[in-house]
Amino acid sequence: MKATTLRGCGTALVTPFLADGSLDEPALRSLVQWQLDAGVHMVVPCGSTGEAVALSAAEHRRVVEITVEEVNGRVPVIAGAGSNDTQKAIATSREMQAIGATHLLHVTPMYNKPPQRALVAHFRAIADACDLPIMLYNVPGRTAVNMEAATTLVLAADPRFVAVKEASGSLAQMTTIIRERPDGFGVFSGDDGFTLALMAHGGDGIISVVSNVVPQLMVQLCDACGRGDFAEARRLDAALAPVIDACFVESNPIPAKAMLSMMGRLQDVLRLPLVPLAGDWRPRVRAVLEQAGIALA
């Protein structure tokens, strides 16, 4: 049997950049510490929210190095290492292990559109080459392939795969995995708006975009669900709803970075092909933050 080691709110960290496009290392260190102070249960650098596909290999390594240093063993560090090239995914996985990540996050390969049996082969090849436990990541809206519940369950039977981040948008698919998973296999929402529903069905938490902006609220929601206080969870979910909506008015992480910039936590800089939040959205996003009682710069 697997031991359940992951639960609660994991923040899918944004990657701060300076105006010249280089990594903003002080802002990243500050962001990680702020997340830890808010009580997040895990941090996830270099995923979709971290603009990992726009980072060089050296930058990817540095982001995870800094995160590991700042965490200093206090919570799991689940490092993004996914690629649509299996050999590149293996090389990145080994690099993440060497610099101290505790887990790996591996997304289904994008663009190639592999069939289900190829997904199994891809993930098993990575597990064969690296010793870290793996969280699978299903996000068909970005990759053009849905990892079906049956495929996730085949992998879940292998103790090297310890969890899935499910961003299929299908609660039915998520609950099927929850019902049929082996003991110790975690099921996490990859969509902030599904956190309450997934945890009410017995899921384990959220890998969150929104907790970049309001970490304490998202931690409180997960904690309320974890202790079975669903009245409090519904209250927190309602409080979070406007922030969740605002975080996705444009492609993630565009709105989240705009919000964090308004809060004075980083510069509103993204890597092309992403661009800063459109001006038409800014008054609405700022108003949401003000209504949530968040101090703005």
Average pLDDT over residues 275-296: 96
Count structural domains, the chain. 1
pLDDT at 297: 85
Q: Is 237 helix (H, G, I), strand (E, B) or coil?
A: helix
Does 75 reside within a domain? yes
**Domain span at 21:** 8-227
Does 266 reside within a domain? no
| Backbone phi and psi for residue 200, each to the nearest 5 degrees, phi listed first | -65, -30
Does 236 reside within a domain? no
Does 251 reside within a domain? no
Does 208 reside within a domain? yes
Q: Does pLDDT of 202 surpass 60?
A: yes
Q: Give the closest residue to 182 by CA, choosing from 168, 164, 206, 201.
A: 164
Q: Does pLDDT of 143 surpass 50?
A: yes
Laid out side by side, the sheet with 205-208 consists of: 42-44, 8-12, 205-208, 186-189, 161-166, 134-138, 103-107, 78-80
| Backbone phi and psi for residue 28, each to the nearest 5 degrees, phi listed first | -65, -45
pLDDT at 5: 78
Does 287 reside within a domain? no
Q: Which one is catalytic: 2, 88, 113, 137?
A: 137
Average pLDDT over residues 143-165: 97
Does 234 reside within a domain? no
Q: How far apart are CA 234 and CA 120, in angstroms?
A: 37
Does 25 reside within a domain? yes
- Annotated active-site residue 111? The verdict is no
Q: Which one is catalytic: 2, 113, 165, 257?
A: 165
CATH number at residue 47: 3.20.20.70
pLDDT at 185: 97
pLDDT digits (tens, 9 = 90+) for 77-135: 999 999 999 999 999 999 999 999 999 999 999 999 999 999 999 999 999 999 999 99
Q: Does pLDDT of 1 surpass 60?
A: no
Average pLDDT of the chain is 97
Q: Cα dist. 92→79, 97, 130, 141 in Å?
A: 10, 9, 10, 23
pLDDT digits (tens, 9 = 90+) for 6-63: 999 999 999 999 999 999 999 999 999 999 999 999 999 999 999 999 999 999 999 9
